[in-house]
Structure 1
Amino acid sequence: METVCDENLYIWHLFVGCPGSMNDLNVMQQSPLYHAVIAGDWPPRSSAFTVNGKSRTLPYYLVDGIYPHYAFFIRSYVNPNTEKRKTFNRLQEAIRKDVERLYAVLTARFHIAMHPARYARVTTICAAVKAVAILHNMVTELRRGGYLARQRREFAAAVSGDVGEADGGDGPVDAAAGVGAPSGGGGDTAGYGTLAGLGGLPPVVLPIGQVAPDAFVRAMRAWKEVRSTCEHVQLRDDLAEDINRDRGALLEPYL
């Protein structure tokens, strides 16, 4: 299984169907979320977030050390040699444990997830896992108002005087984990030359050397962007600076 969840263990993305002998990297190579990101179809670039004074539109996911150094994966530092990096590792590992807790909650809440499905068909296994995920999200929506994580966030926001941001809404607003299954949109999809016959608008003239951003070019641009090791390192350093600046309020819920 491949899952993306937030701090309330609400499942935003679920991928199941690979053999159990595969590791995380093999599952990632088959994941529809991964293919949608590298093709530029997901996520939509309509909203941006700011880290250390720099605005970005590509959300990131917190992962462990087996994942590659891609721009949308944030790993912890291997050998943190400064206080900033150690603080970043503490927070990154604390938040990343949420997705690990998700599997423990699923098996404890739904015992069907504890038993091996040796004699069931793959389609039946996938349907059972999806049903468990849907029921789990229904329970989470009903109960998360009283979760300890939500109460700690509200308390930390009240102490810092920023009560308006305590709840944060129920939508996928957190770039670290609040991302759902791929849906279309985003990227440079407007085709050049299509405005000529719309209401007498003037035709679009392409400068010499500029290629129309069709699906192939958009996919190549997205491929280059998400696989940028430099952007991965820069984003992680910016996050470390931001976290170190407000480390008291950020680490308060996990103390």
Structure 2
Amino acid sequence: MARHLFNRIREGVVGYDNYFECKENALGKIGFSSYQKYTATIQMLAYRVLGDLIDEYVCMSESTCLESMYMFCKAVIVVFGPMYLREPTAQDTTRLLAMNASRGFPEMLDSIDCMHWDWKNCPFAWQGQNKGLVRACTVILEVVASQDLWISHSFFGMAGSHNDINVLQRSPVFARLAEGNNSPVNVTVNAHNYDKEYYLGDGIYSQWTTIVKTIPNPIREKRKRFAQEQESARKDVERAFGVLQSRLGIVRYPARTWSTKKLWEVITACVIMHNMIVEDERPKRIYDQEFQFQGENVVPEHGGGAAMFA
């Protein structure tokens, strides 16, 4: 995370919740500053540092570090959630369709998949329903990710005993499509016209027109080529999971909280900060300087350039 992004998040959180402000108590003693609470929170989220291991560094107790982390997650969701965890706008949809059409998948938006987050402190009464894929207790996170690792949809909270189909039945990912608010598209595949966008998914999903799956055990050369291209493009969501876990180590290791609400707040705040880093690390547009890139030469363009998307 760049320094300016670090300060931007801190300013937004401090402006929303005065808990992070430096205040005096009844005896006139100055409390902890916003930098202390924010630094402790980032240490715990990014490196999965326990609260009692950073007390000497930030001079805060374990309980205060944990309280700061949960208050920070709530503030990030409220302040930055509407911007960085939104449905694709018309401009976003145009960019995604153009990017995926160049990869051989016209009218394709993103890739969809699920991830299991281990839950170490799962209550004993819930352990049966949270065990399924592995022997440990898990909670499922469903995301929709694009090639540039932007996560446009996040649905978290289903027990680990469910599979991707059960999660999709409860997920609001197709809520806008069910209401008839999908973007007007028109694509022809094998002499059939389709008027809806679609996502790339793995083989467990049902045979829906909005989810394009790979071909298991392809025999013909054409089928092998399609399976190869589909699996290559669907790796976008797998890469998004990997980058999310590498940037925010708390998602990579088992969760230690007892509350499902706090689990949701932590994972949602992590997804929002992941999108903020993705946006911040996108390359600057060459056309902002009225230049056009042609081969190895950069020549001025007097009429202004069109936007070049990352």
State the TM-score, normalizing by the size of structure 2: 0.44
Q: 1:23 aligns with which of 160, 163, 168?
A: 163
Cα distance in structure 1, aligned partners of 2:307 and 2:204: 33
CA distance in 2, matches of 1:92, 1:167: 28
Mind listing any 5+ residue stretches in structure 1 that lack a counterpart?
A: 147-154, 159-165, 171-255
Cα distance change, pair 82–107 in 1 and its aligned pair in 2 (3 A): same
1:117 shift after superposition: 2.2
- Aligned-pair distance for 1:49? 4.2
- Structure of larger gyration radius: 2
Q: Is the aligned partner of 1:3 residue 2:143?
A: yes
| Distance in 2 separating the partners of 1:56 and 1:16 | 30
Tell me the secondary structure at the aligned position of residue 12 of structure 1.
Answer: strand
Please report how far the alpha carbon of residue 73 of structure 1 lies from its aligned counterpart in structure 2 after TM superposition: 1.0
Q: Which has the higher strand share?
A: 2
Q: Look up the equivalent residue of 1:107 and give its one-letter code.
A: Q
Count of equivalent residues: 152
What is residue 200 of structure 1 aligned with on the other side? none
Deviation at 1:65, TM superposition (A): 0.7
CA contact (8 A) 1:43 1:59 kept: no
TM-score by length of 1: 0.53
Shift of 1:145: 2.4
Give aligned-pair identity as a percent: 38
Query: Which of 206, 210, 213 is matched with 1:68 structurally?
Result: 206
Q: Which AA in structure 1 matches 2:236?
A: D
CA distance in 2 between counterparts of 1:49 and 1:18 reads 34
Bigger relative CO (Cα 8 Å, ≥ 6 apart) = 1
8 Å CA contact retained: 1:43, 1:58: no
Matched AA of 1:16:
F
CA distance in 2, matches of 1:138, 1:126: 18
| Aligned-pair Cα RMSD in Å | 2.8
The aligned counterpart of 1:46 is 184
| Cα distance in structure 1, aligned partners of 2:268 and 2:187 | 31
Which whole-Å deviations, capped at 9, do the CAs of 1:174-220 have from their partners, x for residues lacking one?
xxxxxxxxxxxxxxxxxxxxxxxxxxxxxxxxxxxxxxxxxxxxxxx
SS at match of 2:173: helix
Matched ranges for 1:102-113 at <5 A: 102-113=240-251
